[in-house]
Structure 1
Amino acid sequence: MRVISRRSGDDVQVFDEALEPLRIFPLPPDVWTWSVSSTRDALVYATDDAVVRIGPDGAERWRFELGPRGEHAGSFLLDAVFSADDTLVWVYAPQTEAGRGDEDEWIVLDAATGEPRRRFPLETAGQGGGQHALRDGRMLLDVGEGQDGARVFLAAPDGEPHEFDWYDRVPIGVAPDESQLMTIDHGQDDVAFHDFPGGEVRFRLAAEEFGADSIEFGGGYLDDETAIVVVATGDEEWRHFRVGTRTGEILGDLGIVTMEPDDLEPLGDGTYVITDTDGTLRRM
């Protein structure tokens, strides 16, 4: 099951499968992305110019410096994620926007020491990135290039990145059996389900088919057979639809209310987590 964690003030709280608090990690106030190891005893986070690993006691174990930003650096967001077996940390570094070079980098670090294992140059000018760890050690990366759309890559630590041949899709999740990928159009007009890792589209559903104005960047795979698609309606509320991942059939509205469109977190085992209005997590 996926590791469940939430920001709480200046800390990240990690939960066990029963949603009981397990551990608290300190986090700088200006950091909003992090990754917890599958063993739940380590956390990595990224600042504008470094990646940091902290241990179960909250102490810093290592720091990987990327160097100072350029004088005219724009807004950007580093991303650091543990590999599925916790042996590596993959880092997307938007070096172009940071004024540190003419190409972005995808960097593979040794999770124990922070030493670089591989550095992949990417011909992108990203403002941020998101990563999805796969069981066999590969990593999926989407790079957001603002109005220019999104680019998606797949790589193994000992191979070269493969770029998918579409520039307008944002990955939302990989099916638990890793045979399928869910993406949303960069303009939020539709959701698509692809064969994975090939990328061929199995079916596509437009926002209008849900009676909605747009598809939100949220949801994901409830299990191998069912996904949750989050849509926005004209009254600024979000609805959550179940979709059959084999047929493309819209199976119905969950009938729940969330604080934000991305608050619902599918766990891949048929359940999902949402946050109550008092901040309490609920598994349903």
Structure 2
Amino acid sequence: MRVFSRKLDNVVEVYDTNLDLVRTFAVPSRSTFKEPGSEGHAVTRSRDRLIYATDTAVLKVDPDGREEWRFDLGERGPRCGVSFTDVELSADDSLVWVYAPNAMADRDREDEWIVLDAATGELRERHVLPTVGHGGDQYPLSDGRMLLEVGEGQDGIQIYLGTPGAAPHDYGWGDRSLHGVSPDETRFVTVGHDAEDLAVHGFPRGEVLFRCTLSAFGYRDDEEDVFVEWSPGFLDDDTVVAVVSGIDDEEDTEWWRHFRVDARTGEVLGELEITTLNQYDMDVLGDGTYVITDTDGTLRRM
């Protein structure tokens, strides 16, 4: 199981494999559109070091919050928009990958994908990206590579594959949202930008192995106010969990349902009968288990 952590307002909580809280790191309050603060974070496998981004820098701190290194990104400009820096550790904890949304942060330079030495914070690589992103999500691979999704709002979504020492590979789609890699790293899952379908792709080439539109889950493909949510994931090598949501017009409330999908054939295997706080409150771990949150805020591994 990967290191599981969550960020609340001004702390990052770190858990062991039993989901017992083992450490808490203090961080600045969450960054907002106009107010500075903490943004993306990553925890080392030893669970005793935190790497996190603010609106101006990436920092590594020890358990007492003492700064071990800092990599400056530069101040946000007066015309900054929604822009959140993401950080992720490579699978072996040796590198820190940083997506910096410089264009939206009004830093007077293009977006960058930056690679730092995790021990020292020394710059290893800096790649310019042709994006104007609001934020990014990264997925480490066992061989040291990294997948990155950049969200550009109404302009779409870009997906890149990073390899240390090489230029990023651009999948070139612009309309697929990335949501995870299979545990055996032979496939990855995406959702259409307009939330109209789910697709599983071969990795690394990205060829579509199958798609599931709303009709696969028992709804009309042209049904209004029903969506394939941007929250699927690999429960294990053989199963993807997909979330379909909609609006109950009579009650004026949202609803959502979780479905199991055969990750090799695309067959919808039935509904996963669980209750979650919202459409996004489920973190699949790839080993057949998942984490949800109780109404009192307690994490549960199921």
Give the TM interval when normalised to the shorter protein: over 0.9
Tell me if structure 2 keeps the 8 A contact 1:44–1:52.
Answer: yes
Question: 1:237 — aligned with what?
Answer: 255
Structure 1 residue 10, shift from structure 2 partner: 2.3
**Within-5 A mapping of 1:109-124:** 109-124=116-131
Question: 1:228 — aligned with what?
Answer: 241
Verify: 1:108 aligned to 2:121, yes or no: no
**TM-score normalised to structure 2 length:** 0.90
Out of 289, 296, 300, the position equivalent to 1:271 is: 289
Question: 1:54 — aligned with what?
Answer: 61
Q: Distance in 2 between matches of 1:216 and 1:27?
A: 30
Question: 1:166 — aligned with what?
Answer: 173
SS of the residue corresponding to residue 2 of structure 1 reads coil
**TM-score normalised to structure 1 length:** 0.96
Out of 116, 124, 133, the position equivalent to 1:126 is: 133
Q: Distance in 2 between matches of 1:109 and 1:196?
A: 25
Q: Distance in 1 between matches of 2:104 and 2:246?
A: 34
Q: Distance in 2 between matches of 1:11 and 1:155?
A: 30
Farther-moved stretch of structure 1 (38-47 vs 179-188): 38-47
Question: 1:40 — aligned with what?
Answer: 47
Tell me if structure 1 keeps the 8 A contact 2:189–2:232.
Answer: no
Q: Distance in 1 between matches of 2:18 and 2:67?
A: 28
Write the letter of the residue equivalent to 1:109. L
- Residue by residue over 1:75-95, the C-alpha shift from the partner in whole angstroms, topping out at 9 and shown as x without a partner, is 211111111111111000111
Write the letter of the residue equivalent to 2:167. E
SS of the residue corresponding to residue 97 of structure 1 reads helix
Structure 1 residue 208, shift from structure 2 partner: 3.6
Out of 69, 79, 86, the position equivalent to 1:79 is: 86
Tell me if structure 2 keeps the 8 A contact 1:238–1:257.
Answer: no
Task: Extract structure 1 runs of 4+ deviating beyond 6 A.
Answer: none
- Residue by residue over 1:131-178, the C-alpha shift from the partner in whole angstroms, topping out at 9 and shown as x without a partner, is 111111111111111111001110111111000031100110000000
Q: Distance in 2 between matches of 1:132 and 1:26?
A: 24
Computed over aligned residues only, the root mean square deviation of the Cα atoms, in angstroms, reads 1.3
Out of 138, 149, 166, the position equivalent to 2:145 is: 138
Write the letter of the residue equivalent to 1:72. R
Farther-moved stretch of structure 1 (72-81 vs 177-186): 72-81
Q: Distance in 2 between matches of 1:38 and 1:226?
A: 26
Question: 1:148 — aligned with what?
Answer: 155
Q: Distance in 2 between matches of 1:215 and 1:116?
A: 39
Q: Distance in 1 between matches of 2:83 and 2:129?
A: 15
Farther-moved stretch of structure 1 (20-29 vs 173-182): 20-29
| Identity %, equivalent residues | 54
Structure 1 residue 97, shift from structure 2 partner: 1.3
Tell me if structure 1 keeps the 8 A contact 2:39–2:86.
Answer: no
Q: Distance in 2 between matches of 1:137 and 1:173?
A: 16
Farther-moved stretch of structure 1 (97-106 vs 150-159): 97-106
- Residue by residue over 1:75-125, the C-alpha shift from the partner in whole angstroms, topping out at 9 and shown as x without a partner, is 211111111111111000111112223421100011111111000011111
Q: Distance in 2 between matches of 1:99 and 1:58?
A: 29
Farther-moved stretch of structure 1 (190-199 vs 119-128): 119-128
Q: Distance in 1 between matches of 2:271 and 2:91?
A: 32
SS of the residue corresponding to residue 233 of structure 1 reads strand
Q: Distance in 1 between matches of 2:80 and 2:72?
A: 17
Farther-moved stretch of structure 1 (156-165 vs 53-62): 53-62
Q: Distance in 2 between matches of 1:65 and 1:32?
A: 14
Structure 1 residue 189, shift from structure 2 partner: 0.8
Structure 1 residue 59, shift from structure 2 partner: 1.9
Q: Distance in 2 between matches of 1:130 and 1:94?
A: 12
Q: Distance in 1 between matches of 2:285 and 2:267?
A: 21
Tell me if structure 2 keeps the 8 A contact 1:153–1:161.
Answer: yes
Give the gaps of 5 or more residues in structure 2: 31-37, 220-225, 249-253
Structure 1 residue 9, shift from structure 2 partner: 4.5
Structure 1 residue 70, shift from structure 2 partner: 2.2
Q: Distance in 2 between matches of 1:260 and 1:44?
A: 28
